[in-house]
Amino acid sequence: MASITPPFHQEFLRKYIIYAKRYCAPRLNEIDRDKVSNFYADIRRESSVVGGIPIAVRHIESVLRMSEAYARMHLRDHVRSDDIDFAIDMLLESFLQSQKMTVARQLSKKLAKYKYQKNDNNTLLFHILNKEAQDKAVFEKHERGIEATEKIPVEITLNQFRSMAKNFNAHEVDNFLASSYFAKEFRLEGDRIKTVKEI
């Protein structure tokens, strides 16, 4: 079972906000500018086609400010692609709510690719970890002269998994480790990830 984080105490939250404001100033130098510009072009075009309220350049400036704020909430020193995705989704939801219902429904379908799907990150991380576990099982069986049909326990170091996740630009490793995605097939023991069942 994934652990449940208790609510923050008021004093801790106050210190956290002070720290984030004082020491965290995320930089925008690594953002995907094409994604932002394509989002602006698509939402502007689609809203004009269906007769919706137009979007302005200041809305895109809001995406950048919100992505900075989201990165600051996580105490990061630069804005990542998932920060941009989250900000785009927030703006899109806000923009859709300002439209007539029929217009919002059409726009929502046409702009669905910009919806931020947080579970996609967990799905990707699960796939990465599961594939590595399967590959390691095959390798260890070969090294130890064990029949391929025989099942063995497999473990992977946490650092190794973090490195693999980074290669795929999947960042929320700690959230994944506390999720049901992880718990259904794996368990964390110290700095090692072990399979729940033998492979």
pLDDT one digit per residue (tens) for the chain, 199 residues: 344 455 668 888 888 889 988 989 998 877 778 888 889 999 888 888 877 777 888 888 899 999 999 999 988 888 988 888 889 988 988 888 888 888 888 888 888 888 766 556 787 788 889 889 998 999 999 899 988 889 999 999 999 999 888 877 777 899 889 888 798 899 999 999 999 999 8
> Residue 3: its pLDDT value, please?
44
For residues 82 and 127, membership in a common domain is answered with no
For residues 139 and 153, membership in a common domain is answered with yes
**Last residue of some domain: 73, 90, 114?**
114
For residues 124 and 173, membership in a common domain is answered with yes
Q: Can you give the residue range of the structural domain that contains 62? A: 10-114
What b/e string do you get for 52-88 counting C-beta neighbours within 10 Å, with b at 16 or more?
Answer: beebeeebbeebbebbbbbbbeeebeebbebbbbbbb
Interatomic CA distance for residues 79 and 68, integer angstroms = 6
> Residue 119: its pLDDT value, please?
55
Domain presence at residue 37: yes
For residues 132 and 86, membership in a common domain is answered with no
Domain presence at residue 79: yes
For residues 77 and 15, membership in a common domain is answered with yes
Domain presence at residue 25: yes
> Residue 2: its pLDDT value, please?
42
> Residue 60: its pLDDT value, please?
85
For residues 96 and 182, membership in a common domain is answered with no
For residues 138 and 104, membership in a common domain is answered with no
Are 3 and 182 a contacting pair, CB within 8 Å? Answer: no
For residues 58 and 17, membership in a common domain is answered with yes
**Residue bearing tokens 């796939």:** 127
Specify the number of domains making up the chain: 2
**Last residue of some domain: 62, 93, 114?**
114
